[in-house]
């Protein structure tokens, strides 16, 4: 659908829709964390493919940019199955890949969207085995630089069970939001994803229950709703 403006997120996003309402709720939940702990960058991941990571990441970014008018940036760290370029209808290259390679400066690959205070860093070149590129120091440098210019950074990523890429990114962000697909992500699989992230010292701050047919996603504060205790081993 690349290049088809009628299908991009700006035309599809309805501020009055249930998903927009839930996204505002999600944002108001994480806003407290933003203020209290000066958290600014959030990784959106899930256990497996197709659970709604890119959808949640892009709607959240759009909501933050529109609702609070914060200087917002969405980064596509899924170099295997990138989608943010299509969702926001911007060229895929250059992007994060070129920054990780050391061939581009993150600020130089930032692209505009149709919303003034929402910018995008796309995946850049698609890479089948990018794990070697996600070096912790390089990632941290990139995110430190980006965070200096943006109030909030939302990072879309690959799923944690099939690949290790998101764990390598998680150390460079302030918090991780785990997306699960209602009725589809088995409990033990969600628990495994959580364990993998925790073993990588990721700071899981919440769980989004995404549902393709209902008024969702719902956001659960990881601690507040007792998810952490339900989730124990
Ligand atoms: N809440 C929702 N309502 C309707 N459709 C949705 C919702 N969440 C996701 N989808 C659709 O489900 C499909 C998969 O979603 P998405 O691409 O966001 O998942 P993903 O976890 O990023 O996948 P991947 O692992 O391939 O990166 C897309 O076609 C998307 O439009
Ligand atoms: Mg995706």
pLDDT at position 232 over 80: no
Domain count, the chain: 1
pLDDT tens column, 161-206: 999 999 999 999 999 999 998 888 899 999 999 999 999 999 998 8
The answer to whether 133 and 79 are in contact (CB under 8 A) is yes
Among 47, 48, 55, residue to substitute to test ligand 1 (most atoms within 8 Å of Cβ): 55
Largest Cα–Cα separation, the chain: 46
pTM above 0.85, yes or no: yes
Give the CATH number of the domain where residue 16 resides.
Answer: 3.40.50.300
| pLDDT score, position 70 | 84
What is the predicted pLDDT for the residue at 102?
94
Cα–Cα distance measured from residue 225 to residue 91, given in angstroms and rounded to the nearest whole number: 40
Ligand 1 proximity of 159 Cβ (cutoff 6 Å): yes
Query: Which atom of ligand 1 is closest in space to residue 48's alpha carbon?
Result: 25
CB environment 80-110: b (16+ within 10 A), e (fewer): bebbbbbbbbbebebbbbbbbeeebebeebb
Instruction: Tell me: pLDDT of 111 over 90.
Output: yes
pLDDT per residue over 149-172, tens digit each? 999 999 999 999 999 999 999 999
Distance, in Å, from the CA atom of 144 to the CA atom of 205, rounded to the nearest integer, reads 20
Model confidence at 97, in pLDDT bands (50, 70, 90)?
very high
Nearest to 208 by CA among 56, 73, 83: 56
Query: Are 56 and 210 spatial neighbours (Cβ–Cβ below 8 Å)?
Result: yes
Closest ligand, as measured to the CA of 213: 1
Give the pLDDT of residue 1.
33
State the average pLDDT over residues 36-45: 87
Going by C-alpha positions, the residue among 160, 200, 129, 195 that lies closest to residue 51 is 160
Query: Per the structure block, which two tokens stand in for 75?
Result: 């980064």
Report the atom number in ligand 1 closest to the C-alpha of 179.
Answer: 21
User: Percent of the chain beyond pLDDT 70?
Assistant: 83
pLDDT of residue 233: 33
């Amino acid at each position: 659908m690349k290049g088809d403006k009628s299908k991009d997120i700006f035309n599809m996003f309805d501020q009055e829709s249930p998903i927009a309402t839930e996204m505002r709720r999600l944002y108001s939940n994480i806003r407290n964390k933003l203020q209290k702990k000066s958290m600014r960058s959030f990784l959106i991941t899930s256990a497996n493919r197709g659970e709604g990571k890119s959808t949640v990441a892009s709607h959240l970014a759009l909501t933050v940019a529109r609702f609070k008018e914060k200087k917002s940036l969405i980064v596509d760290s899924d170099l295997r199955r990138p989608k943010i370029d299509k969702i926001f209808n911007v060229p895929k290259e250059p992007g994060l890949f070129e920054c990780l390679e050391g061939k581009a400066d993150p600020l130089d690959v930032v692209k505009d969207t149709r919303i003034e205070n929402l910018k995008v860093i796309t995946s850049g070149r698609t890479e089948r085995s990018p794990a070697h590129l996600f070096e912790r120091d390089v990632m941290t440098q990139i995110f430190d630089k980006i965070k200096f210019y943006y109030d909030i950074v939302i990072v879309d990523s690959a799923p944690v069970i099939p690949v290790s890429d998101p764990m390598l990114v998680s150390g460079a962000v302030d918090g991780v939001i785990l997306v699960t697909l209602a009725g589809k992500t088995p409990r033990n699989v969600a628990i495994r994803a959580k364990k993998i992230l925790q073993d990588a010292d990721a700071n899981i701050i919440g769980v989004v229950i995404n549902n393709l047919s209902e008024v969702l996603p719902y956001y659960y504060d990881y601690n507040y709703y007792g998810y952490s205790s339900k989730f124990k081993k």
